[in-house]
């Protein structure tokens, strides 16, 4: 049904300009609300063949980095908006951090993207690294060292799961008088599960463990 027909006989008649705007809405492709202003990142979950089996490659972040020094992660970084898509960004970031050719990275497919409570969207991909681990010398400005975990081990391992609670804390000048019950408003509590995987002396947790968990559950 045309937009104009919806309003015929009603109290509101659309002028030509508003009609055109409503027609534009009909053809709108939905996105995550607010996504245009969110920071977007791409991550690669890298698979590599080693000792005749599939292994997952992990990085340990350089200890001099300002954010999350020494933590375990996958290659990844910010998507250059208007320049590249999420898949291209995942390949570029992995190529830069592992210091390997982009042609050595073969994307298998995407995992579900993740909207973080910190105004970010993460786009994870799974991909093959077509190189021997011994031939990879990571960028020391970002990566301290690499290690691998057999996929067979992770398919059998059950992560420990702990819950993080988020507390709502409005700023001091919040207009309580504009909302029902004022300062006694019953804010909805939010929680998030944190996964912990253990391998030898390594602890994999946080965003890396969430992406890993989704991948393992998908394979199961």
Q: What is the pLDDT of residue 11?
A: 45
**pLDDT tier at 2, thresholds 50, 70, 90:** low
- Mean pLDDT, rounded, for 105-109: 97
Are 193 and 166 in contact by the 8 Å Cβ rule? The answer is: no
Q: What is the pLDDT of residue 190?
A: 83
**Is residue 40 predicted with pLDDT exceeding 60?**
yes
pLDDT digits (tens, 9 = 90+) for 110-129: 999 998 877 889 999 999 99
Q: What is the pLDDT of residue 7?
A: 53
Say whether pTM exceeds 0.75.
yes
pLDDT digits (tens, 9 = 90+) for 180-215: 999 999 998 888 899 999 999 999 999 999 999 999
**pLDDT tier at 6, thresholds 50, 70, 90:** low
- Listed range (14-18, 71-75, 109-113, 135-139) with the worst mean pLDDT: 14-18
- Mean pLDDT, rounded, for 52-79: 94
pLDDT digits (tens, 9 = 90+) for 66-75: 888 889 999 9
Q: In Å, what is the CA distance from 130 to each residue of 54, 75, 86, 206, 215?
A: 12, 15, 20, 27, 20
């Amino acid at each position: 049904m045309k937009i104009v027909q919806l309003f015929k006989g009603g109290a509101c008649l659309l002028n030509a300009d508003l009609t055109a705007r409503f027609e534009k809405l009909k053809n709108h492709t939905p996105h995550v609300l607010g996504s245009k202003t969110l920071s977007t990142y791409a991550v690669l979950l890298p698979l590599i063949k080693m000792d005749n089996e599939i292994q997952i490659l992990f990085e340990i972040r350089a200890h001099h980095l300002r954010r999350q020094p020494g933590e375990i992660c996958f290659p990844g970084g910010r998507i250059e908006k208007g320049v590249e898509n999420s898949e291209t960004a995942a390949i570029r970031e992995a190529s830069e951090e592992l210091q390997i050719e982009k042609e050595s990275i073969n994307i298998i497919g995407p995992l579900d993207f993740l909207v973080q409570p910190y105004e970010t969207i993460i786009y994870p991909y799974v991909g093959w690294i077509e190189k021997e681990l011994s031939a990879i010398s990571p960028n020391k400005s970002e990566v301290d060292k690499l290690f691998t975990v057999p996929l067979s081990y992770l398919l059998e391992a059950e992560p420990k799961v702990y819950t993080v609670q988020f507390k709502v804390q409005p700023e001091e000048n919040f207009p309580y008088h504009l909302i029902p019950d004022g300062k006694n408003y019953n804010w909805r509590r939010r929680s998030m599960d944190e996964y912990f995987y253990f391998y030898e002396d390594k602890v994999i947790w946080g965003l890396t463990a969430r992406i890993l968990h989704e991948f393992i559950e998908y394979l199961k």
